[in-house]
Amino acid sequence: MPTTTTTRARSVVAPRRAIARVALVLLLTFLLAPIAAVAAAKKPPPARGVKSDVKYVKCAVCQEVAKTLHRVAAKVREDKGKKLTEADVLEKVEKVCDPDAEEGEWLITHDLVERGKRLDMKHMGGKFGECGAECKTMQMACERIVSDRDTDVAEMLFTDGASLARAGIQAKLCNDANEKAYSACRKPAPALPKTRPKGPAFKEKDKKDVEMARLMKSMKGMGMGGMEMFSRDNMPGMGGGDDDDDGLGDDPADALGGYPGMSDLASGDGGAGAPAGEEGEGGVSGAWGRMKASAGDAAAAAKRAWRGLFPAKKDASASAASDSDGATGDDSEGEL
């Protein structure tokens, strides 16, 4: 039969454990929520292609696709040798219009440039770019040529690829008088209208970010879903050389200062109606500082709770003395 002191100790420890669990869950939620919110706020919406521009670039895109298919088909034929199958070739064909795949890398190394009445594809000399509206436009033109006929293209490359030169692939893909989808270069592209707005500038992207995007997509393709990548620009204050281990960063100004309507908040002015210069009291910077301080307090409380739940082992006499102390009502150690 348990003693009175043992029963009292259990009745004290059980609520402490429950409180500690709740405190730890709240702490993790509190720490991770602002990080996720900042990253989500920085992630731009997906770009969309301009359907009306496809007719201006479809021939140049078709020629680039033919060149790329000739190269990747030759490479897979060399790698596989006698073990080459049509499925191997089809896999490469399916990726040629994907800017996140190595086979579709040409999409992020070219820019669309207005030259007089023409819209030309310009190779950017080894630079990688974001897949914005112009990249998506080229992708749209590529898919019109390849996507619905990928098995036919793969069969052609598998059956005749060894003897087909690049010019032969281009003739079949881009200059076929009997197939509209393969006749992108049969007629010259129409002139650009004067009312057409100029396209966006080429936005360079770090090669490491390109490689990471490919890795994440490959992992997702292997069934490791739910993974998402944020570039360094998407993740301000999330592990940038700061000695603090809370992951919150010192100031959110870098995260919000570049957005319309947020510059005064990022500078600490506190937004409309807030007195200028009160960075410590109002605005995002002040709130960020208070958030970090609160997180520190919560972390300290969690540590105290943890020590209360799992005290150092004592011998029997020390445990008995501890039980006696608990009976006198001195339960301050480990309380939240």
Give CA–CA dist 91/290, Å, rounded: 53
- Whether the predicted pLDDT of 79 surpasses 90: yes
CA 106 to chain centre: 21
Predicted confidence (pLDDT) at residue 96 exceeds the cutoff of 90: yes
Beta carbons of 292 and 283 less than 8 angstroms apart: no
Would you tell me how many other CB atoms lie within 10 Å of the CB of residue 297?
Answer: 11
Give the pLDDT confidence score for residue 19 in this predicted structure: 78
pLDDT at residue 166, rounded to an integer: 85
Decide if pLDDT at 312 tops 70. no
Query: Are the C-beta atoms of residues 34 and 246 closer than 8 Å to each other?
Result: no
When pLDDT is averaged across residues 117-133 and rounded to a whole number, the result is 94
How does pLDDT run across 153-183, given as a tens digit for each residue? 999 999 887 777 888 899 989 998 888 778 8
List of residues 6+ apart from 80 with CB closer than 8 A: 88
pLDDT at 221: 67
pLDDT for the residue 40: 54
Stretch 48-61: mean pLDDT: 95
The model scores a pTM over 0.75: no
C-alpha angle 198-202-206 in degrees, rounded to nearest 5: 165
Between 22-26, 37-41, 129-133, 267-271, the lowest mean confidence (pLDDT) is in 267-271
Q: Is the pLDDT of residue 46 over 60?
A: yes
pLDDT for the residue 14: 63
Kindly report, residue by residue over 286-299, the tens digit of the pLDDT: 544 555 555 566 55
- The tokens describing 246, both together, are 């809370």
- For a pLDDT cut of 90, what percent of the chain falls above it? 40
Angle between helices 150-160 and 166-174 (to 10 degrees): 150
The mean pLDDT of the chain is 73
Look at residue 55 in the predicted model and tell me its pLDDT. 95
In angstroms, the CA 67 to CA 73 distance is 10
pLDDT digits (tens, 9 = 90+) for 246-301: 444 444 444 434 434 434 433 444 444 444 444 444 444 454 455 555 556 655 65
